[in-house]
Chain A
Amino acid sequence: MAAAYIFLQALIVIMTNTFSKELSDISQKTDEELVALALNMPDAYAFLVDRYEEKLLRYIMRISSSSKEDAEDILQDVFLSAYKNLNDFDQTLKFSSWIYRIAHNKVISHFRKVSARPKTMTYEGDSQLLNVLASDEDLALAMEKKYTAQQVREILAEMDERYREVLVLKFLEEKDYKEISDILEKPMGTVATLINRAKKQFKERSNTRNQ
């Protein structure tokens, strides 16, 4: 009886270790490998959700006026939609670009449904945006400007949607031109133009506030 109990315990330990090792192996896989795995094993998809949950929630809140609860609903919709469309994932893209694109489209369709214009919510630390934008201005002048996250939020909220989103992607989500092009499905030249115009509009709006 005791031997059987010891054997069972040993078996549980071995199985737990094996499972933990497998999970640990899975967690070390790249996004693209996880996608391939998730096609046959839904549980593997949980790792992708864990990796992107916070980033996407922040992104959704940054580009929309949703409350946290609404943003979480959109986020859930994003993950379910991404799962249903896993076979459409283009391996030439980064998975992050692809899932950000789905989030971007879901935010747009959400606001189409509620017939409202997305506004901006900010996360702590969004005031870094202005510092980055001001970096190519006179440094001394830039240093004088002290913007709070609230002020950045207000300026972003006044901006055109297309400009606001590229600023968020470039300076807050720290995406490069190629990634922004893949997320917004716009040619890279268009992205560059949008960023330049967005920076100009942001500076104009912030200068107007200072006057």
Chain B
Amino acid sequence: MTTTSEKIIKTIKESHLEPAPKWRFLAKNWVFWTLFAIALVIGALSFATMLDVIVGHDWDIYPYLHKSFWTFLFISLPYLWIIFLSLFAWAAYFNFIHTKGWYHHRVYLVVLASAGLSVAAGCVLFYYGVGGKIEESVSANLPYLNAISSVDKKTVWDHPDDGLLGGQVVLIESSSQFMIQDLENKQWQVIDESAADKHVEVEIGEKVKIIGQEKAGNTFVAKEIREWDPHEAKRAFPKPKQTLRQSGSSVCATQEKSCD
């Protein structure tokens, strides 16, 4: 024994040092792998939500808002989900490089595989509407995050003077005329002059987005009618303050006016 080894053994014995149990190291490694997997799952959920926001966005309406495409893109990007995705991509990487023997793997392959897995899982989750549900839940429960989670459809489709009007169909008067209640609970007479390919069949209670022109007397001439997707509609419209009931061949709102 040398002086150093004598000193080490003496310290070990005097301080009653013992090797830490193996399970502690195994658990530590598993914690990092589990956090890595959780980060991938949250990344996939963020990607699904981001996809929902991007796909559901009306990218062609920027001229009506008097903005350039790039300005519109800048204000439309779902920053919250981009931040989430980046954060959890970093978390996945951080946890991976703390697992045992991580450096035996090609890091760029692991990063690419993880990103690919998150994107693929995100696409599947988006397909099954999970992204929309998350966005809806965030809008409902964390309204202060709305501004960075997605573009506020309420403000975009509340510009009748610019030709953008959103609302809920409350009365169908004829095949080319119906009434909607907009996002500010104001009622509009809509004259449908949209071409067949730019038109959805409206039904009572349906939420629609209309591109057209405002006329006098709360009248709006529709050039194009789009359907809100159900998740978006839930986000944009508060719970209906009135119920609809059918009377003969027409349908009307019970609260606003009586049905003859």
Chain A residues whose CB sits within 8 angstroms of the CB of B9 once the complex forms: 42-43, 45-46, 49
Which residues 59-106 in B have Cβ within 8 Å of A in the complex?
A: 100-106
Min CB gap A181→B, angstroms: 6
**Is there an interface contact between A186 and B103, defined as CB atoms closer than 8 Å?**
yes
B143 within 8 A of A: no
**Is there an interface contact between B19 and A76, defined as CB atoms closer than 8 Å?**
no
Given contacts A185-B103, A187-B106, contact A49 B19 (CB under 8 A): no
Q: Using an 8 Å CB-CB cutoff, how does the interface string of A58-84 with B read, 1 for contact, 0 for none?
A: 000000000000001001100110011
Chain B residue with Cβ nearest A53: B4
A90 within 8 A of B: yes
**Is there an interface contact between B8 and A85, defined as CB atoms closer than 8 Å?**
no
**Is there an interface contact between A83 and B19, defined as CB atoms closer than 8 Å?**
yes
**Is there an interface contact between A85 and B11, defined as CB atoms closer than 8 Å?**
no
A150 within 8 A of B: no
A88 within 8 A of B: yes
A39 within 8 A of B: yes
CA distance A187 to B101 in the complex (A): 10
Given contacts A87-B25, A187-B103, contact A39 B19 (CB under 8 A): yes
Of the candidates A80, A88, A90, A92, the one whose C-beta lies within 8 Å of that of B12 is: A80
Chain B residues whose CB sits within 8 angstroms of the CB of A84 once the complex forms: 17-20
Q: Using an 8 Å CB-CB cutoff, how does the interface string of B217-245 with A read, 1 for contact, 0 for none?
A: 00000000000000000000000000000
A176 within 8 A of B: no
**Is there an interface contact between B13 and A42, defined as CB atoms closer than 8 Å?**
yes
Of the candidates A39, A46, A76, the one whose C-beta lies within 8 Å of that of B1 is: A46
Chain A residue with Cβ nearest B2: A50
Given contacts A42-B9, A49-B5, A49-B8, contact A85 B19 (CB under 8 A): yes
Chain B residues whose CB sits within 8 angstroms of the CB of A79 once the complex forms: 4, 8
**Is there an interface contact between B17 and A46, defined as CB atoms closer than 8 Å?**
no
CA distance A88 to B2 in the complex (A): 26
B186 within 8 A of A: no
CA distance A47 to B102 in the complex (A): 30
Chain A residue with Cβ nearest B29: A88
Number of A-B contacts (CB under 8 A): 75
Q: Using an 8 Å CB-CB cutoff, how does the interface string of A123-145 with B read, 1 for contact, 0 for none?
A: 00000000000000000000000
Of the candidates A38, A45, A53, A90, the one whose C-beta lies within 8 Å of that of B2 is: A53
Chain B residues whose CB sits within 8 angstroms of the CB of A38 once the complex forms: 19
Given contacts A42-B12, A43-B9, contact A49 B4 (CB under 8 A): yes
CA distance A46 to B20 in the complex (A): 18
**Is there an interface contact between A87 and B12, defined as CB atoms closer than 8 Å?**
no
Min CB gap B112→A, angstroms: 15
Min CB gap A60→B, angstroms: 13
Chain B residues whose CB sits within 8 angstroms of the CB of A42 once the complex forms: 9, 12-13
A86 within 8 A of B: yes
Chain A residues whose CB sits within 8 angstroms of the CB of B11 once the complex forms: 76, 80
Chain B residues whose CB sits within 8 angstroms of the CB of A45 once the complex forms: 5, 8-9, 12
B257 within 8 A of A: no
Given contacts A83-B19, A84-B20, contact A50 B1 (CB under 8 A): yes
Which residues 91-142 in B have Cβ within 8 Å of A in the complex?
A: 100-107
Given contacts A53-B5, A76-B4, contact A187 B17 (CB under 8 A): no
> Which of A53, A84, A86, A88 is packed against the most chain B CB atoms within 10 Å?
A88
Binding site for A on B (CB under 8 A): 1-2, 4-9, 11-13, 17-22, 24-25, 100-107
* Extra A-B contacts (19), CB below 8 Å, given A49-B4, A84-B19: A42-B13, A45-B8, A45-B12, A46-B1, A46-B6, A47-B5, A49-B9, A50-B1, A53-B2, A75-B4, A76-B11, A84-B17, A87-B19, A87-B21, A87-B25, A181-B103, A185-B103, A187-B103, A187-B104
Which 10 residue pairs of A and B lie closest in terms of their CB atoms, listed nearest first?
A49-B5, A46-B5, A86-B19, A87-B22, A88-B25, A79-B8, A53-B4, A187-B103, A185-B103, A87-B19
Would you mind naming 12 contact pairs between A and B with Cβ atoms under 8 Å apart?
A38-B19, A45-B5, A45-B9, A49-B8, A79-B4, A80-B12, A87-B19, A88-B20, A88-B25, A90-B100, A181-B103, A187-B106
